[in-house]
Structure 1
Amino acid sequence: MMRTRPLKVALLGCGVVGSEVARIMTTHATDLAARIGAPVELAGVAVRRPDKVREGIDPALVTTDATALVKRGDIDVVVEVIGGIEPARTLITTAFAHGASVVSANKALIAQDGAALHAAADEHGRDLYYEAAVAGAIPLIRPLRESLAGDKVNRVLGIVNGTTNFILDAMDTTGAGYQEALDEATALGYAEADPTADVEGFDAAAKAAILAGIAFHTRVRLDDVHREGMTEVTAADFASARQMGCTIKLLAICERAADGASVTARVHPAMIPLSHPLANVREAYNAVFVESEAAGQLMFYGPGAGGSPTASAVLGDLVAVCRNRLGGATGPGESAYAALPVSPMGEVVTRYHISLDVADKPGVLAQVATVFAEHGVSIDTVRQSGKDGEASLVVVTHRASDAALGGTVEALRKLDTVRGVASIMRVEGE
């Protein structure tokens, strides 16, 4: 039986995502009511510019006073899509205190203050859901938090930023340079006017923190995630990758240590074999590869951004939270019982691709090999080419710690025969 009194929803933000959430709530109202067991009603929309025309939204619902909206005692669910840390954090905690559950798409806030927000939700017996904070429409958080709750996740490896994937894919498939590919991404609307958050890995790092926390039942903050951007990736790097049967992706990698005693979370560009499923993720799509003990290897793929895909994830959470509300229950909260330490980047073990500019004369290769050996880094393959007294030396290593590789590179820079370290890239996904 359907309850006749509607569940009231307050919407904070009415930009690309918020306006699409409002549209779907209106056009799919009958279906949503049937799935939830009660009608849902948009009770208020908080915006910064109240005079802007918003098609399909009753102007009487629009307000600039977001605080007053979330303090209303009749609001059942607050949907937060304004982004940023403040005022979003204060508005969410205020909503909990006044009896509302919260659905958020705010990756930066969840990555930074997720533990405190979960604690506030628990204190007031309310839900905090945020499927839309990672990978847009791709169902990822709920499978990790619920479907794999009885399993042990060992690794999460993924492309979680569509802008950077579009740029790298363009560089790979067309031979474009970084700036040319970025200009194309900007023209097509994939990149913001200021793309720093994307290309320097901040966006992906926030998502990695969220994924690692859920996957390993451990609190992982944004500051715990090692981050490197992809602005230094060159056409020469792609040429080297192709010679190895690889391509280059900006990856978010969350891993449990082999002994299970710690975890790591990192974001950086990496070479990945063309045989790996992530290598074929094109344009602005996202994909996440999950490796667990019982389920094995799982891959989640789809559009990772945009108004409609993100709104789809928000509405999925809204339905779940409203069902909980009707049932007088709450869904899964924070699970951080494992409390595993987050290891520094120096302890990460992987393979490396190092490109060196060296003098083209006898003995150089032997000198370079000696440096690798002295730092405990085993060489897998070496490729050398030279002309007119200059040479390029490409070394691919076996697995070694990041600290050992860092020491190796520092020592290589001190060799008179090494004129420069052209690039260093990790090799993942093997």
Structure 2
Amino acid sequence: MRILHSSDWHLGQHFMGKSREAEHRAFLTWLIEQVQAHQVDALVVAGDLFDTGTPPSYARRLYNQFIADLRVTGCQLVILGGNHDSVSTLHESRELLACLGTTVVGGITADPADQVIVLQRRDGSPGAVLCAIPYLRPRDLIESHAGESTQHKRQALSAAISHHYTVIYDAACAVREVLQAQQAQQAQQAAEPCALPIIATGHLTCVGGQLSESVRELYIGTLEAYPAAAFPPADYIALGHLHRAQTVGGASHIRYSGSPIALSFDESRGSKQVLLVDFENGKLAEVTPLPVPGWQPMQSFSGTLKELEAQLQQVFGQACDDDQTPGEPATWLEIEVRGDDYLSDLQPRVQQLVEALPVEVLRIRRQRSGSSTALARDSRETLQELSVHEVFERRLSLEDTLDEGARARLGEAFDLLLAQLQDGESAV
């Protein structure tokens, strides 16, 4: 059995005013080619298919066209909802998409069987059982009560997540037993039936996971990170939410595939990939990263204006002398100015440095320090990028006169108020 593990496509994302449509279109075309070249049995997308709950029409067209193209390859597709996805948006066409070999699990339901999916080999035989667990919204798992401490809420949420995984895993084990018994009977073998692996998914932050600039949302309610040891003993756990490809806690079977394109400048420093996962005799055999090509170059530079001029000329000066390849995109730049940050005409000075270079400056920021800028210590951040809790914590950090007890009481009062607001929204 061979699956392809991907996540965090964020179709429809606009990056500092720039559309990512061309990159996403190129990625989806490349992905179809990989499915065909490696004869993939099933593709699992572990959340954040779209960048927002109301994706633009072109993003929906890309999604629908990809499903139609993938159908021709004979590869099964499973889409899991992420925290950026709208459950209702994903589910609006899932019955139709089921006819095209695509299973969509945008959110959890009352019946655990809805989250157990049999992944089939290309010959139609069962190849694995999937615990299809999407992003778990706290309001779907626990109820908030007045007077609960933050620590109590975290423990309750962690326990609820563990319970949900256990329930789905047990249901998957039951399905596996039935399938293996059927296979043994069909083969008229009284001996040990063909083993089937169990795969689980998740869209959350695990303890020790490396974050990136584009991952700023509150991870799972008030739970900062989920311990990897709390996952059930699945043969492979395909995770989404963190945009850097990585293993979790040194466990080779618990992995984030990462986003296929760089969603922030700090992500552009590393390579992007999808994961080719092979199983043999019901067990994980090999995980092979497939590097994703980069279609939009992005780079960050930091220094004084004089240092920046030297750096830019060293990297891009030769490109000015040579003819640029027709259709080749200009490199998107992030410029951090050190030492000269007092200048009032900083932006025109930077634009003068890149004049005639095959680049486009998307962000210029000044290097700052000191407690006076603690609330906006990073000029890359906007309120839209920060979670409600992060804004509260930044503001609270400016109050030097508060002791730890007062800070804790304010934090608990804020958590209670936020929970009440969320409960009111879910009731509507």
Same fold (TM over 0.5): no
TM-score interval, smaller chain: under 0.3
TM-score by length of 2: 0.26
TM-score by length of 1: 0.26
Higher relative contact order (CA 8 A, sep 6+): 1
